[in-house]
Amino acid sequence: MEPAAGATATLPAPLTSLVGRDAEVREAGRLLDSGGRLVSLVGPAGCGKTRVAIAAGAAAPGPVRFVDLSTMDGQEPAGFVLDAFGVARRPDLDEFETLLEALSSAAPDGAPLLLVLDNCERAAAEVAGLAGRLLGVHPKLQLLVTSRQALGVPGEAVLAVDPLDGDTALRLFETRMFERTGRPLAAGHRPAAAAICAALDGLPLAVELAAARAALLSVPEVRRLLADRFRVLADAKTEGPEHHRTLRAALDWSYELLSPDKQALLRQLAVFHGGWEAQAAAILPAYRPELIPALADRSLLSSDGYRGRMLQTVAAYAAARLAEHPREAGAALDAHAAFYLDLAERAAAGIRGPEQRTWLRTLTLEQDNLRAALARLAARPGRGEDADLRMAAAMAPFQHFTGGYFQGRHWLSEALERRPDAPAPARVAASSAAATLAMLACDYPAAAALAHQALPLAADRGPLLTLLGSVERERARYAQSRSHLEEARQLYRKAADAWGEGRVTQLAGAAAWLSGDLDGAAALLAQSLTAFRDLADAESVASSLTHLGAVAHFRGDQPAARRYLADALDRFTELEFPEGVAWAQDLLGRVDLAGGDLPSASSRLRASLTIHRRVGDRWRSASVLEALAECRRRAGDPAHAAALLGAADVVRREIAAPTPACEQPARAATDARVRAALPAAGFERAYRFGARTPIETLLNLTGAAALTPATTA
């Protein structure tokens, strides 16, 4: 009898080398050598299970038989294996007994026999039944199987065959490119090749297909085309069964083995980006609790019971399948958007308090889902729609924490422009959030305009007045700042809003020390520290400590300042709050400068400046540049100091905010001493050079020779 079509009883001879699977081959061999009767290689489509099985089989000491079950369609597995062996049926034996006899004859001396069964997912339950029976009556038989799910047979050892890591996937890509072209991968194309491998999740099949395409096109072109990965990676290989030749076919194979309810859930899970929590998946129309583990068992997703995720390639496939069902897609996307709108609004309410760390971790993890939900809400037509406004406003506190001022402003400005007819409460909240982020980005005119526009419509004027107080503080208009903040404090007190009153008290304390009223600042900040400790608001506690450190520094009590600021820095670092870390490092640098520790002062101030500039805080960037100028002056480099002063003044003119009152004496002293150390023409030349030179360039200049007349001309 001829072997069944698509099946073979001998190990295939691969046409290419196996790359990056030494560990899996060794582990499979170890499991078999240690007496394992059934070893299952389990992993997602395209991860290279067959190649690992062939390599492990080739290393086996005894006879090996290989059967590909991918073409088994409705047949009994014992009969299919017999056909693969080319063994005729016997009238006196059933198919199982005939198979036993064939296996025994394959190892006539009683040596162990390894039977490799490839692609068992096609009929996992039937193969599991056959495996159990064979192992029960053939003591010398070992089974090595590949499947996208474990068989669940007692004694089964499951070896996960995961996607390749980044370096190994890139090595595979380079190897296949070389095999096809005879040329090594160009050094300039390595970043694009690495990006291709990452986008394809390190799946060997996908990486090999991409390398084959890149040999015909180019690496950058393949990277560009990966937006439609299933088209660009189609028909790039010619050998092997269909589901080993194209990425789409490999995933079709897995998908078609699913029941309709599992197919529907897999499709709908594509609405998530970057993973999902268990409670988020539960909002999908197709969700049933038992389906998530079932899909995980089939290597289509991973789940630890709390959070699930799909490989990017599987997610792209599921999204393509979902697009074939428009009504289902709409329902799933709407459910996703509603869930994350609710999450964002609950986070905005809870981020100021004892659950602050929890909410920050959650929002950090869910950023991709939140962006996708906002995009869905923004696409909704209709007058009076406000969901996208609410979402953008709810995300603003998180944007503050993470330094995403510009992104948050962009979301809010687009939403406000898109929804001119939204209900007043939603527009006021969005305007207030946009004004806050504008102030943090030092766009004071925009912040003030947004706040003043919203004030007449606001049911609660406290937050807007607080914001206006902050704007005027940074403009050094301290009397106006105090007036706004005091009005806000009275409103918060009347409303019994303990957090609002604590916040405005803290900001009033900040305005006081910046204006030079150190005693008044100390009293206000002590009150705010007590309030926020009672409220268990970790960020606000750290901020109050920072301001108290500033008061101690400007009073000349550097040991007390260092204690406050070191405590604040530890708290901000734990929260991963860039604005707070930058503030604490800024002030600790000044403490070091006051103590004469120039290396530490310079290091801290540079670290602070990097963060301030990254988040867009130009107001503090200018102050740090002035402090760094004093560091350079003391280091004997007055020309560099003059250039840094020029850069600081450019920033201050751009934002129309002068040096804070408490820092003006130090700025004036630095300016005078630098001028005294340089000829008038030399000072002006260096100052103008700093005013027109990128700050990164200025910071990298060292030594007086770096600012020669030729350089600064």
Which stretch of 100-114, 226-240, 381-395, 663-677 has the lowest confidence by average pLDDT?
Answer: 226-240
Which stretch of 190-199, 204-213, 694-703 has the lowest confidence by average pLDDT?
Answer: 694-703
For residue 38, what pLDDT is reported? 93
Which stretch of 149-158, 303-312, 602-611 has the lowest confidence by average pLDDT?
Answer: 303-312
| Average predicted confidence (pLDDT) for the chain | 89
Element (H, E) at 307: strand 307-309
For residue 635, what pLDDT is reported? 94
**Band of residue 5 on the pLDDT scale cut at 50, 70, 90:** very low
For the record, the structure tokens of 270 come out as 């594509």
Decide if pLDDT at 60 tops 50.
yes
For the record, the structure tokens of 694 come out as 């990128």
For the record, the structure tokens of 254 come out as 């897995």
The listed range with the strongest mean pLDDT (54-63, 219-228, 634-643) is 634-643
Residues 455 and 424: their CA atoms lie apart, in Å, by 11
For the record, the structure tokens of 711 come out as 């350089």
pLDDT in tens, 405-418: 999 999 999 999 99
Question: 237: closest CA among 213, 201, 203?
Answer: 213
Decide if pLDDT at 711 tops 60.
no
306 or 363, higher pLDDT: 363
For the record, the structure tokens of 113 come out as 């026999």
* Contact present, 619 and 472 (Cβ < 8 Å): no
Which stretch of 62-76, 188-202, 565-579, 627-641 has the lowest confidence by average pLDDT?
Answer: 62-76
Q: What own/partner pairs with CB < 8 Å and gap ≥ 24 does 211-220 have?
A: 211/172, 211/173, 211/174, 211/176, 211/177, 211/180, 212/176, 212/180, 212/236, 212/237, 214/173, 214/177, 215/176, 215/177, 215/180, 215/181, 218/189, 219/185, 219/186, 219/189, 219/192, 219/193, 220/189, 220/192
Q: What is the DSSP letter of 243?
A: G
Which stretch of 124-128, 221-225, 564-568, 580-584 has the lowest confidence by average pLDDT?
Answer: 221-225
For residue 232, what pLDDT is reported? 67
Residues 6+ apart with CB under 8 A from 496: none
pLDDT in tens, 478-487: 999 999 999 9
Rg of the Cα trace of the chain?
34
For residue 8, what pLDDT is reported? 44
Residue 442 burial (CB count, 10 A)? 23
Alpha helices in 4-48 (DSSP H): 22-33
Residue 449 burial (CB count, 10 A)? 14
Question: 350: closest CA among 480, 535, 485, 494?
Answer: 535
For residue 713, what pLDDT is reported? 46
For the record, the structure tokens of 583 come out as 């503030």
For residue 88, what pLDDT is reported? 80
pLDDT in tens, 218-275: 888 888 887 777 776 765 444 555 555 577 887 888 888 899 999 999 999 999 998 9
Strands of 132-248, DSSP E:
141-147, 157-160
3-state secondary structure of 65: strand
* Contact present, 604 and 581 (Cβ < 8 Å): no
For residue 391, what pLDDT is reported? 96
pLDDT in tens, 500-533: 999 999 999 999 999 999 999 999 999 999 999 9
* Contact present, 169 and 57 (Cβ < 8 Å): no
Residues 420 and 570: their CA atoms lie apart, in Å, by 44
For residue 419, what pLDDT is reported? 92
* Contact present, 666 and 630 (Cβ < 8 Å): yes
For residue 702, what pLDDT is reported? 55
What is the CA 178 to chain-centroid distance, rounded?
33
For residue 706, what pLDDT is reported? 46
pLDDT in tens, 436-473: 999 999 999 999 999 999 999 999 999 999 999 999 99
Residues 300 and 269: their CA atoms lie apart, in Å, by 11
For residue 674, what pLDDT is reported? 97
3-state secondary structure of 53: helix
The amino acid at residue 201 is D
Tell me what percent of the residues of the chain surpass a pLDDT of 70. Answer: 94
Question: 462: closest CA among 509, 513, 510, 499?
Answer: 499
Residue with tokens 């206000």: 524
Task: Please classify residue 700 by burial: count the beta carbons closer than 10 Å to its beta carbon, then call 0-12 exposed, 13-18 middle and 19+ buried.
Answer: exposed
For the record, the structure tokens of 537 come out as 């608001």
Residues 370 and 458: their CA atoms lie apart, in Å, by 27
Element (H, E) at 198: helix 190-199
3-state secondary structure of 431: helix
What is the CA 495 to chain-centroid distance, rounded?
39
Partnered with residue 42 across adjacent β-strands are: 147, 160
The whole-model pTM stands at 0.79
For residue 593, what pLDDT is reported? 96
671 or 108, higher pLDDT: 671
Question: 455: closest CA among 483, 493, 484?
Answer: 484
For residue 701, what pLDDT is reported? 76
Residues 525-553, mean pLDDT to the nearest whole number: 96
* Contact present, 292 and 281 (Cβ < 8 Å): yes
**DSSP labels, 567-584:** HHHHHHHHHT-HHHHHHH
What is the separation, in whole angstroms, between the first and last Cα of the chain? 92
For residue 3, what pLDDT is reported? 40
Partnered with residue 303 across adjacent β-strands are: 308
